[in-house]
Amino acid sequence: MSKDIGRELPEIRKTVIINASINKVWKTVSTSEEIARWWMPNTLEATMGKEFVLRDDKFGDSVCRVTELDPPNLLGFDWDETWHLTFKLRSLGETRTEFTLIHSGWPEGEKNRFGIAYSVVREIMNDGWEKTVLVRLAKYLDG
């Protein structure tokens, strides 16, 4: 998964304020069932070192491994060959939570296993996190 790579493109960092308690948001971003409702099918088990699979209809299965875990504040995992995804949560009171997604591991000048430059994939993912996934997460929890 994560490998020693040279220069990297900037990480993607997205933050959204969600109208839900930190415990509710945590459950939604750290359990397989809940992640499948707002993002994609998976076999996540939030246990340090545990491997799991993200299932994408277009690109197939990606093997992941939990590398950071501090409930209900932090979940991080290695994703596929180079990526690392971190979910950071910060309570803003009983009914609001700041959720930050950090997507790193963009090797500059390299291509992914599908032959697409990471610089191109990074821009697609940056847009996708902003317009699709974070919007769906907030709507799901606010709904």
Between 34-38, 49-53, 111-115, the lowest mean confidence (pLDDT) is in 111-115
Scan for tokens 């902003």, then name that residue: 130
> Residues with Cβ < 8 Å from 118, sequence gap 6 or more?
9, 82, 106, 107, 108, 110, 111, 112
Across the range 34-58, mean pLDDT stands at 96
Q: What is the pTM of this model?
A: 0.91
Across the range 1-8, mean pLDDT stands at 60
pLDDT digits (tens, 9 = 90+) for 8-34: 999 999 999 999 999 999 999 999 999
pLDDT digits (tens, 9 = 90+) for 57-93: 988 999 999 999 999 999 999 998 899 999 999 999 9
pLDDT for the residue 81: 84
Q: 66 with 84: CB under 8 angstroms?
A: no
Across the range 93-113, mean pLDDT stands at 95
DSSP string of 51-83, one letter each residue = EEEEEETTTEEEEEEEEEEETTTEEEEEETTTE
**First-to-final CA distance of the chain:** 35
Asked if pLDDT for residue 1 goes beyond 80, the answer is: no
Q: 105 with 84: CB under 8 angstroms?
A: yes
